Amino acid sequence: MSDEDADHVSIITIERHILDEQRIHPEATGVLTNLLYDIALAGKVIASKTTRAGLAEILGRTGAVNVQGEVVQKLDRLADLTIYRLNDHTGRVAVLASEEHPDILPIPDQYPTGKYVLLYDPLDGSSNIDFNIPIGTIFAIYQRLSPETERGTLEDCLQPGKNMVAAGYILYGSSTMLVYSTGMGVHGFTLDPSVGEFLRSHPNITIPQKPVYFSANHGYNMYWSRGVQEYTRYLQGKYGGPADLSLRYVGSLVADFHRNLLSGGVFYYPADNRDPQKPHGKLRLVYEAAPLAFLAEQAGGYASNGLCNILDIQPTALHERTPLFIGSRDLVEKAEEYIRRYDS
């Protein structure tokens, strides 16, 4: 077989890809590599449940309300537990925090702690579960700040996104995909259910130069600031804006982000004045905005809260919310321009 043929037929599993990345760093100990495997395994377990949701009576509500005041779906709980249990005993993680819990999730006393911090949203977009619409898991990995000899702390979890070591998401859609970055580009893998393996399907993802989509919940337009309303008009082709953008909004952040990552465009969930309790919009800084911002930058895009880079924001609380504009750099910078002009 010629080299060219061999290259053409080569199948790159996620294990092989992560190991190849590790080899680029001779100082790497393999701990991050194994942590990423653990997350990939969690993704497979969650995917096996989401695809059978309607059958296994998993679908539906538990009746409980989570810390965000939202109804907890059974699948949320299952995804949350899966990720925690696959990571609580490995000695790779110092502390975890999940969007489903008010406080940090310590490593149980009987297990050793490790050098990484794992923050995750186990099942984002879960209001879509009942409608068979794609949902996703989002994760962010940091290095701990606290001494290795101690248990992980809240401070370990409240780091600005620019400290992130790796981030990614698993999208449970028409196929299951894992997309991640360790700061060396963004790579996508599709789960082959027949062999139970994530295979590299989207190497080196970069956001295309010419944007195709814009995505926001226009039902809230009347609650947006003047700057965001004017920006929206710009995206619709007014004020010299692009005249050919198509509007797509799934209402499931991972799915909306994934589409715009591959096609080019902007997703925004701005601040609005619907609820005085939530003046900064709906999305969470540490669980949603920061990890996706890391991926956007790695793919040549950008994410902002309308005033500054999401990755520069120092979180002050685990469940802090932030406005989010994310995707093609030009379009996100345009949002900042409109917000500066009309809202400040």
* CA dihedral of 7, 203, 185, 322, whole degrees rounded to 10: -170
Regarding 140 and contact with ligand FDP (CB under 6 A), the answer is: no
Measured between alpha carbons, how far is 22 from 151 in angstroms, rounded to an integer?
A: 27
Beta-strand runs (E) in 144-175:
166-172
- Each residue 207-236 as x (binds ligand FDP by CB under 6 A) or -, in order, gives ----------x-------------------
In this structure, how many other beta carbons lie within 10 angstroms of the beta carbon of residue 294?
27
Closest to ligand FDP by CB, 53 or 94: 53
**Contact residue for ligand FDP among 74, 92, 282, 329 (CB under 6 A):** 282
Do the beta carbons of residue 33 and residue 39 sit within 8 Å?
Answer: no
Q: Which stretch binds ligand FDP (CB under 6 A): 22-30, 89-97, 191-199, 246-254?
A: 246-254
**Contact residue for ligand FDP among 122, 125, 291, 323 (CB under 6 A):** 125
203 three-state secondary structure: coil
Regarding 127 and contact with ligand FDP (CB under 6 A), the answer is: yes
Closest to ligand FDP by CB, 18 or 310: 310
Query: In this structure, which amino acid lies at residue 164?
Result: M
- Tokens 């027949």 -> residue: 194
252 three-state secondary structure: coil
Angle at 161 between CA 80 and CA 221, to 5 degrees: 80
**Contact residue for ligand FDP among 252, 260, 304, 305 (CB under 6 A):** 252
Tell me the closest approach of the beta carbon of residue 3 to ligand FDP, in angstroms.
Answer: 44
- Each residue 59-88 as x (binds ligand FDP by CB under 6 A) or -, in order, gives ------------------------------
Regarding 126 and contact with ligand FDP (CB under 6 A), the answer is: yes
Closest to ligand FDP by CB, 71 or 154: 71
Measured between alpha carbons, how far is 142 from 210 in angstroms, rounded to an integer?
A: 32
Measured between alpha carbons, how far is 107 from 237 in angstroms, rounded to an integer?
A: 51
Two tokens at 22? 């590790």
- How many chain residues interact with ligand FDP (CB under 6 A)? 12
- Which parts of this chain interact with ligand FDP (CB under 6 A)? 124-128, 217, 251-253, 282-283, 288
